[in-house]
Amino acid sequence: MAAITAADVNKLRTMTGAGMMDCKKALVEADGDFEAARDILRKQGQKIADKRSDNATSEGLVLASVSEDGTNGKLIALACETEPVSKVADFKALAQQILDAAVKTNAGTKEDLLASAQADGRSLQDHITDLMGKIGEKLDVVAYENMTAEKVASYIHSDNKKGVLVGLKNVGNADVAAVGRDVAMQIVAMRPVAVDKDGVDSATVEREIEIGKEQARAEGKPEAMLEKIAQGKLNKFYKENTLLNQEFVKDGSLTIAQLLDKTSKGMTVSDFKRVAIGA
What's the 3-state SS for the chain? CCCCCHHHHHHHHHHHCCCHHHHHHHHHHCCCCHHHHHHHHHHHHHHHHHHCCCCCCCEEEEEEEECCCCCEEEEEEEEECCHHHHCCHHHHHHHHHHHHHHHHHCCCCHHHHHHCECCCCCEHHHHHHHHHHHHCCCEEEEEEEEEECCEEEEEECCCCCEEEEEEEECCCCCCCHHHHHHHHHHHHHHCCCECCHHHCCHHHHHHHHHHHHHHHHHCCCCHHHHHHHHHHHHHHHHHHHEHHHCEECCEEEEEHHHHHHHHCCCCEEEEEEEEECCC
In a domain, 87, yes or no: yes
Same domain, 33 and 71: no
Domain containing 224 equals 201-241
Gap between the Cα atoms of 139 and 61, Å rounded: 11
CA–CA dist 73, 70 (Å, integer): 8
**61 and 47: one domain?**
no
What's the number of domains the chain is made of? 3
- One domain, residues 47 and 58: no
Q: Is 201 exposed, middle or buried (0-12, 13-18, 19+ CB in 10 A)?
A: exposed
Residues 62 and 125 in one domain: yes
Say if residue 69 is in the same domain as residue 112. Answer: yes
33-66: string of b/e by CB count within 10 Å (b at 16+)? ebeebbebbbebbeebbeebeeeebebbbbbbbb
pLDDT at 26: 81
Residue 4's contacts (CB-CB under 8 Å, 6 or more residues apart) are: 24, 27, 28, 32
Question: What's the pTM?
Answer: 0.80
Q: 137-166: string of b/e by CB count within 10 Å (b at 16+)?
A: bbbbbbbbbbbebebbbbbbeeebbbbbbb
Whether residues 130 and 84 fall in one domain: yes
One digit per residue, the tens of pLDDT, for the chain of length 279 reads: 667 788 888 887 777 766 678 788 888 888 788 888 887 777 776 666 666 667 888 999 999 999 999 999 999 999 999 999 999 999 999 999 999 999 999 999 999 999 999 988 889 998 898 888 778 888 999 999 999 999 999 999 999 999 999 999 999 988 999 999 999 999 999 999 999 999 999 999 999 999 999 999 999 988 889 999 999 999 999 999 999 999 999 999 999 999 999 999 999 999 999 999 986
Do the domain assignments include residue 29? Answer: yes
Q: Is the domain of 25 the same as that of 94?
A: no
Do 10 and 73 sit in the same domain of this protein? no
d(CA 230, CA 228): 5
Domain with residue 120: its CATH number is 3.30.479.20
The predicted structure's pLDDT at residue 52: 67
Shared-domain flag, residues 33 and 43 = yes
Q: Within a domain: residue 109?
A: yes
